[in-house]
A and B are shown apart, each in its own frame.
Chain A
């Protein structure tokens, strides 16, 4: 398996707060990798650095053998590296179907492409993916009228519509009804296996991440604390201490 994303010695501080210090992680093609850590440990900051949301203070970020740390957000997204937001972002005044259609890939879109009509497959694909996440019956509702959990699912479907190569998910199960979480884990795995999308997932729910991820990185206080297989991470004393707040 070839390396898809390679973060080397990446640091990011906000004023005096060092949110990420010297972080190195790697995601290989086809993997599902977990990213855990207590609140405020710097997980979202690392996502923001990877997708170009803010400039990094030092280090390097390579995606598909290309340095991306100085590229801007939309350019990185068009390379096939997409993220979802912890607070969930969808287009509130547009229907779910419109949210989906607006999420078609913009890779290589020229001038004529901007004025293209939605070709015959677009609506089919949008309905298929909404069905996949369980929102088919809501497809003509405005995005803003969905519950928080439903918006999370819509955002996931929109990401799939965009056909990314690597998808960064920031707490995909937050706000989802606990009885439906198993279904969501299953869908994340199917997106990985059937659609060939590599996943890097931030997750607070230990049961979810242990079920989902093949490898896990754990952050604490902005530093990389541990890396390993789920069982190893689960039993790592440093990780347990970090979560229990003993430091």
Chain B
């Protein structure tokens, strides 16, 4: 413990656990206090998931990915396809374009969902591994553009594939129980997944893995020169976010109740960009930044959509510009630069510039 603390800031101190417990309590009672907003709150946890998984590559490792939405979409399709395919012929179901209603028992429904979500995590993992070993040789802007192209490519692929409904999309099976119960377990599913994702990622960052990602972010050539398996680290980092994105997509598909290849699953212009904006807003590579970014973004987005309809994208764009200009490090990054001790960081301030004595001789 103390050895690690001398190297990295102690992320999980008493204060952190108190804040996390507070979030857990608020998150657990909120849907009962405001039942009308359960849907909104579910979307919020999906946003939190998207921003934390994006931060692994974009924040910790400095690779701006516009392709993460691919694993989200793959998770949606895999889960829904398994939910349907377990109980009827998928091809016939999609060919009917929503004409066939699957009537399942609760047991069948949750069996299909559980298998679907596990498969979605696996699919997200494998897809990231495969695609990563292909395009993670690209660096900087080239990777960003490559990943953007990837998202468009996969969206086109899905829109042309009859088995999964092509351009008409795919409808996950209807929930056999009452609607209020459906929205509650979906809420808690997303909430729990966000919590697990957060804890697993922070655990990963506290290991050698975390410093390796930061090293790649700061200077990849140096990291290579020091013998770091950069491609392996990059690919596995993407695959880890792929797992959680896949499962998240599986839940999201059931929440939306309709999967459109371009507008929900592989929607680069909405979720694909939002996940980037949330992290930039909150602070790349920071502990709480993705959460705060997701909260602010979600609140502002809903406000703009409710009160500035028609101008919502302009307002959203302005918000981002203001943030990037005044808080280039994000909100948490801004505070961390100024008050590192709030963050339990053991970073000393830069020394006063003095001409003499660039190096202090050690006591021999």
Contact = CB atoms under 8 A, between A and B. Distances in A.
Do A and B pair up? The answer is: yes
Interface of A: 51, 72-74, 77-78, 82-83, 85, 89-95, 97-98, 100-107, 109, 113-124, 126-127, 131-132, 134-138, 140-143, 145, 147-150, 153, 158, 162, 176-177, 180, 183
Contacts of B348: 138, 140-141
Contacts of A94: 211, 214-215, 218
Contact of B227 (A74, A121, A131): A74
Contacts of B212: 102, 114
Contacts of B360: 134, 137-138
B4 A117 contact: yes
Contact of A83 (B206, B211, B225): B225
15 contacts: A72-B224, A74-B228, A77-B227, A82-B227, A89-B219, A93-B217, A95-B347, A102-B223, A102-B228, A106-B227, A114-B208, A118-B7, A123-B3, A134-B360, A140-B348
B229 interface: yes
A101 B227 CA distance: 13
B181 interface: no
A142 B222 CA distance: 16
Nearest to B214: A94
Given A91-B219, A101-B208, 11 more contacts: A73-B224, A77-B226, A97-B346, A113-B208, A117-B4, A117-B208, A122-B3, A123-B3, A126-B7, A142-B347, A183-B361
Interface of B: 2-4, 6-8, 204, 206-209, 211-212, 214-215, 217-219, 221-230, 232-233, 236, 346-348, 350-351, 357-362
Given A149-B359, A180-B361, A98 B8 contact: yes
Q: Is the interface of B mostly helix, strand, loop or mixed?
A: helix
A145 B50 CA distance: 33
Given A149-B358, A180-B359, A101 B7 contact: yes
B323 to A, nearest CB: 20
Nearest to B208: A116
